[in-house]
């Protein structure tokens, strides 16, 4: 089987003003404009999305947001709707990131409502799941991640499931410099794939599953070599345009080499 096309997504989190984002886009595009072997996504803060829409138009880089509301519109102070994201040319939206779950109390139920809304409006959700260190040490990591996936995806049709991207991000590996070993990451991504297979049968093979947590230019190749890891969601290492471009070139090179080998 040919290896699935990879996705490398940067999650800037709460970094970069409009002028910083514009400057990044110019420098980044210069480095990645000829990369066609994989899909590149930049998930920027809300305020940078509109300026990036102009900068990234007609380029190989797709635009994503980091959160959105489950509501269409109305009296929801401080929220941003799916329609607003489509309006600024977003095609992806990160949903259920562990920072939203842990710091802002987002529940599995809210994440599920957001996933449904994103799919209904034509956005592609990047659903984040992952366990904290206590849960891993208790040996309950797989159980936790399976529950998060099942909750978020319950009731979706096979066609809708086919438009999902899942990101496995163990909380203990985020921003800590402690990457999960590629074997541990693969094991959990295979568990996620099995859960998807239970929901949608063989079509689960086509759903991209990303790994996130201290991914860098130096470890991307090893992670992508694993069967069920189809890309990465990158935080810290996506903030500098040149080092993120280097990571992408390492991933693209591996993608070319791996083609047709599985």
Among this protein's residues, is 169 annotated catalytic?
A: yes
CB of 75 to ligand 13P, least distance (A): 30
Site string for ligand 13P, 177-216 (x = CB under 6 A): -----------------------------------xxxx-
Task: Rule CB under 6 A: choose which of 125, 170, 235, 241 binds ligand 13P.
Answer: 235
Regarding 234 and contact with ligand 13P (CB under 6 A), the answer is: yes
With beta carbons less than 8 A apart as the criterion, state whether 255 and 6 touch: yes
Pick the catalytic residue: 97, 99, 106, 110? 97
- Tell me which residues in 152-171 interact with ligand 13P (CB under 6 A): 169
CB of 173 to ligand 13P, least distance (A): 6
The smaller minimum CB distance to ligand 13P, of residues 45 and 212, is found at 212
Among this protein's residues, is 62 annotated catalytic?
A: no
Radius of gyration of the chain (CA): 17
Site string for ligand 13P, 76-115 (x = CB under 6 A): ---------------------x------------------
Regarding 231 and contact with ligand 13P (CB under 6 A), the answer is: no
Task: Rule CB under 6 A: choose which of 162, 175, 198, 201 binds ligand 13P.
Answer: 175
With beta carbons less than 8 A apart as the criterion, state whether 46 and 80 touch: yes
With beta carbons less than 8 A apart as the criterion, state whether 261 and 4 touch: no
With beta carbons less than 8 A apart as the criterion, state whether 96 and 152 touch: yes
The C-alpha atoms of residue 106 and residue 218 are separated, in whole angstroms, by: 33
Q: Which residues bind ligand 13P (CB under 6 A)?
A: 11, 97, 169, 174-175, 212-215, 233-237
């Amino acid at each position: 089987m040919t290896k699935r096309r990879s996705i490398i997504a940067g999650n800037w989190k709460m970094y970069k003003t409009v002028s910083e984002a514009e400057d990044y886009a110019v420098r980044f595009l210069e480095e990645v404009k000829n990369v066609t072997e994989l899909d590149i996504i930049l998930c920027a803060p809300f305020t940078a999305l509109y300026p990036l829409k102009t900068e990234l138009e007609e380029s190989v880089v797709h635009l994503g947001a980091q959160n959105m509301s489950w509501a269409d519109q109305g009296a929801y102070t401080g929220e941003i709707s799916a329609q607003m994201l489509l309006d600024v040319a977003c095609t992806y939206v990160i949903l259920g990131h562990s920072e939203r779950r842990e710091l802002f109390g987002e529940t599995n139920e809210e994440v599920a409502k957001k996933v449904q809304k994103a799919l209904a409006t034509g956005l592609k959700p990047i659903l984040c799941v992952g366990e904290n260190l206590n849960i891993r040490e208790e040996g309950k990591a797989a159980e936790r991640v399976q529950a998060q996936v099942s909750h978020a995806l319950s009731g979706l049709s096979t066609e809708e499931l086919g438009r999902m991207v899942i990101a496995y991000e163990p909380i203990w590996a985020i921003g800590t410099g402690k990457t999960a070993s590629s074997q541990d990451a693969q094991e959990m991504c295979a568990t996620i794939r099995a859960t998807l297979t239970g929901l949608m049968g063989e079509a689960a093979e086509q759903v991209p599953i990303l790994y996130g947590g201290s991914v860098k230019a130096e470890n991307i190749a090893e992670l992508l070599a694993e069967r069920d890891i189809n890309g990465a969601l990158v935080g810290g290492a996506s903030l500098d345009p040149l080092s993120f471009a280097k990571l992408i070139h390492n991933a693209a090179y591996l993608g070319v080499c791996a083609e047709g080998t599985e």
